[in-house]
Chains A and B, each alone.
Chain A
Amino acid sequence: MAIDQAMCTSFKQEILQGIHNFTSGSGGGTTTTTGSGNTFKIALYTSSASLGAGTTAYTTSNEVSGTGYTAAGNTLTNVTPTTSSTTALTDFADTTWSSSTITARGALIYNSSTTAGTANRAVVVLDFGADKTSTSGDFTIQFPAAGASTAIIRIA
């Protein structure tokens, strides 16, 4: 069992299929959505989870449970994709589980708008490097600066 940080392989394929839309703004979406952006979520996992490049969709297996955490995780606020030099990138606002008592080793960002074919398609697996614990406090994920060499999702 391990969590390996990676851009999911299925996500790379789905980019070429036009399945994901990171445009900021409300709107539903299916696998053929155009225009308005999809809804992306982030779910937390324990160190018992097996997640990596081969992950294709959100799973409840070994998802974190605890005070202040609801299954399926938090909805992310996405930032409309942009470019920096020759790199395309997108970003999310930091997210917090307030008044929570949880322990997590990693996370999965997924597209909760995708329903046709495969629901909740995986985007990226994040490895925190070690267990992180909040005790009656905040559990905050701070996304990196939206730069060409730092952004959470970038295509160079």
Chain B
Amino acid sequence: MFSVEVSATPGSVNVQTTEGRGMNSEEIAANAVAKIISISDTADPIIKAQAEAFRERMYWVIVAACDQSIKSDRTTLFNLFKTNGHDDMAEILRTL
């Protein structure tokens, strides 16, 4: 008799919620980094140190990219409001 046993197990999700605001660049970057790289607790210490340094560097690169993206989107919205005659809304966005 032969049999092949497979197991199918769901992973665990992380739920993040905010109150009265959206997620900021740091929170989004932390999520992105967690998706890109995971480091085993049992990894070789030297490799682990390199991976952690890489993860730290990636985190700040993504934070900067998120900040740039937010600013760029605000510029687009600023012009959209301005074009449609909502100068007050455009000014609020500009000063954020």
| Residue positions of A touching B, CB distance < 8 A | 5-7, 12, 15, 94, 96, 98-99, 104, 107, 124-126, 128, 132-147, 150-156
Contact = CB atoms under 8 A, between A and B. Distances in A.
B15 interface: yes
Given A94-B35, A138-B22, A144-B13, 13 more contacts: A5-B10, A124-B10, A128-B13, A134-B17, A137-B17, A137-B19, A137-B22, A140-B15, A141-B13, A145-B35, A152-B10, A153-B10, A156-B8
B37 interface: yes
A72 B16 CA distance: 20
A142 B14 contact: yes
Contacts of B85: none
Interface residues of B, number: 24
B47 interface: no
Contact of A154 (B9, B14, B35): B9
B38 interface: yes
B15 A142 contact: yes
Interface string B10-35: 11111111111111000000010011
B7 A155 contact: yes
